[in-house]
Each structure stands twice: as C-alpha cells, then as structure tokens.
C-alpha cells in the first residue's frame, strides 16, 4: 500500500469519521505512541521494546478497540499506519509536533519541530496537536524550544485546534543524562511557564506529570485554570510499579481541572502483557 498507493493516507484521512474532543462523560483517555520518533524505544528494562512496528500497531489497535478509549497521540508515521488500518474512525487523532530533541543527544533540549505542523493537522482533519517543552535554565537550547513552542501555540489557536503542552523543568545528571524534576516546586513552575505561551491560551491544554509526592498535586494544579490531562510515562519494570502508577492517577483525577489521562508504555507494554486489561483499568479510573 505504501509503495504503490501513497495517496491512500490522505484518502483514509478524508474518510475518517470524526468526533468532538470532549463528549458524554467529559473525560479523555488517550493512548500515546510518539516515543519512537524521538529515538526513545525503551520500556522498563527492555531497551528496544517499541522498535517492532507491527507489534506496536497490534497493541495500538487493541487499545483503540477497548471501550472508554478516546484516541491516540502519535507521530505522523504511526498515525498514517493507523489511518490505513482503519483504526481511527470515531477516535481522536492527536499529532506529535516536536520530535527533534532525540533521546540522549547533546542537542536534546533544542527540541525542534520536526513532526506535524499545524497546517498538517488541519489538512488531515486531525483533532489536536501536542508539544514537549523541557526547560533547563543552564541549557541555551531551552530558549529556542520555548520560542518555537510559543509560535506553535499561536498557529494552533489561529486554526482553532487544541494543543497539549507537556512541560518539564529538567537538568543533566553527572553522566550527562537529562532528568525531569518532578518535585512540586518544579512542576508548579513549569505549568506557570507553559500557561503563558503565545498570544492566547484559549486552545491550550496542559499535559501534566504527577509529582513525586502525589499529595502535592492539589496545590500544584492551583497554578493554572487551563484544562489538563495527566501523563503516564514509563513506570519501570514490574507489576508493583504499574499498580503504584494507577494509584497516583486515581487521586489526581479528582482535581477539578484534570480531564483525563494520556498514557503510553504503561498501557501498551504492561508488566503482565495484558494490554486490554491495562487499558480497561485506566478507563475505570475515569
């Protein structure tokens, strides 16, 4: 199909049955699969767990078929595959916009917008975009990313398209690896910065990590009035880590501006291998 009929992607996008961003229960459960485009293929102690694309697509199609799942967040290649498989009908398609900050690279914080552009999302009839905003006060690359993110927020608002901003304060450890700071103070600061990006916040959503101490989340979320979803991240190996992640989400989902979950590896690569079970558990939290 890709070799002989590349136009099939646009045709499938034109046929896709769309839906509102929020409906019915006023909650969102989005499955995330944009990690490979940033060279981030690891899950727990498996460094190339996400490298097999056919396996990833099988897991995504299963997740998208479960009741309570609203859609998927992914890079263009994954969304194109899902369009060709007919898996995005009546599901939200959210395009990942900046994937240039490759995992482990010296330029990781100069996170260029190498994925979907706002006009691509509008042309394909997709429902929203997502951008990653990591800020290290000691790295000049953060300023370039911050500036590009603000302009992306402006462009998305001009097209009346929601954009999910995923902010972190971060720093490099002694080995030079980038580490996100999940303290209450750091998450509070990152939300304040992300909320103020661009000329309007009318179409901005926040994609928020749960703090190291989940009891701090109520105070953290007082920083902004913008609607928010909780991100999942990689909980680490083992069923215990997965259960702890569910408990952290359960408490934070009670907060008034929190509208749902955007979770990837925790649901697609659960410790026990039961994708349907992991997705159903997350859906039950909403």
So where are the chain's domains? 8-285
What values do phi and psi take at 221, rounded to 5? -75, -10
Task: Give the pLDDT score at 258.
Answer: 97
Of residues 51, 175, 165, 207, the one with CA closest to residue 104? 175
Across residues 111-131, what is the average pLDDT?
A: 97
- Looking from the CA of 66 toward its CB, the CA atoms found within 13 Å total 24
User: What is the second-level CATH architecture of the domain 8-285?
Assistant: Alpha-Beta Barrel (3.20)
List, for residues 169-188, the tens digit of each pLDDT value: 999 999 889 999 999 999 99
Query: Do residues 231 and 264 lie in contact, with contact meaning Cβ atoms separated by under 8 Å?
Result: no
Average pLDDT of the residues of the chain? 95
- Output the pLDDT for position 141: 85
For the chain, give the percent of residues with pLDDT over 90.
88
> Considering the entire predicted model, what is its pTM?
0.95
Spatial contact of 84 and 14, defined as CB atoms under 8 Å apart: no
- pLDDT for 238 beyond 90: no
Q: CA-to-CA distance for 248 and 12, rounded, in angstroms? A: 38
223 pLDDT above the threshold of 90: yes
pLDDT band (50, 70, 90) for residue 243: confident
10-19 long-range Cβ contacts below 8 angstroms, 24+ apart: 10/124, 12/83, 12/84, 12/86, 13/83, 13/124, 13/125, 13/126, 14/125, 16/83, 16/88, 16/89, 16/93, 16/125, 17/89, 17/90, 18/90, 18/125, 18/127, 19/90, 19/91, 19/92, 19/127
Q: What's the confidence (pLDDT) of residue 189?
A: 98
* Burial per residue of 257-267, b for 16 or more beta-carbon CB atoms within 10 angstroms, e otherwise: ebbbbbbbbbb
- CA nearest 44: which of 266, 278, 273? 266
Residues 112 and 151: their CA atoms lie apart, in Å, by 12
């Amino acid at each position: 199909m890709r070799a002989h009929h590349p136009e099939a992607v646009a045709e499938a996008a034109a046929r896709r049955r769309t839906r509102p961003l929020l409906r019915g229960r006023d909650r969102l459960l989005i499955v995330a699969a944009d990690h490979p485009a940033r060279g981030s293929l690891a899950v727990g102690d498996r460094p190339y767990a996400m490298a097999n694309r056919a396996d990833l697509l099988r897991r995504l199609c299963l997740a998208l078929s479960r009741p309570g799942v609203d859609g998927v967040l992914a890079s263009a290649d994954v969304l194109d595959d899902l369009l060709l498989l007919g898996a995005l009908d009546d599901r939200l398609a959210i395009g990942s916009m900046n994937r240039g900050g490759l995992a482990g690279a010296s330029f990781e914080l100069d996170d260029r917008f190498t994925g979907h552009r706002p006009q691509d999302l509008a042309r394909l009839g997709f429902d929203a975009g997502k951008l990653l905003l990591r800020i290290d006060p000691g790295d000049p690359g953060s300023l370039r990313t911050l500036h590009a993110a603000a302009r992306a927020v402006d462009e998305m608002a001009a097209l009346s398209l929601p954009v999910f901003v995923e902010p972190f304060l971060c720093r490099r450890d002694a080995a030079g690896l980038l580490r996100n700071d999940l303290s209450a103070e750091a998450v509070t600061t990152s939300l304040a910065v992300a909320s103020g990006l661009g000329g309007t916040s009318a179409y901005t959503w926040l994609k928020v990590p749960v703090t190291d101490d989940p009891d701090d989340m109520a105070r953290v979320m007082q920083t902004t009035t913008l609607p928010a979803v909780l991100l999942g991240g990689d909980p680490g190996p083992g069923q215990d880590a997965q259960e702890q992640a569910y408990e952290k989400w359960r408490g934070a989902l009670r907060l008034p501006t929190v509208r749902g979950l955007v979770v990837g590896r925790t649901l697609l690569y659960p410790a026990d291998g039961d994708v349907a079970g992991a997705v159903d558990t997350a859906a039950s939290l909403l």
